[in-house]
Amino acid sequence: MHYYYTRRIPKELQKRLGKKRIVVSLKTKSRRKAIASAIVLSEKLESFWNGMKLEEIIS
**What predicted TM-score, i.e. pTM, was given to this entire model?**
0.83
pLDDT at residue 59 greater than cutoff 90: no
pLDDT at 55: 86
pLDDT at 14: 95
Q: Is 27 helix (H, G, I), strand (E, B) or coil?
A: coil
pLDDT at 48: 95
Per residue in 6-55, pLDDT (tens digit) is 999 999 999 999 999 999 999 999 999 999 999 999 999 999 999 998 88
Left if phi > 0, otherwise alpha if psi is -120 to 50, otherwise beta: which for 9?
A: beta
pLDDT at 57: 84
Amino acid identity at 32: R
Amino acid identity at 13: L
CA pair distance 13, 40, nearest whole angstrom? 21
φ and ψ of 30, to 5 deg? -85, 125
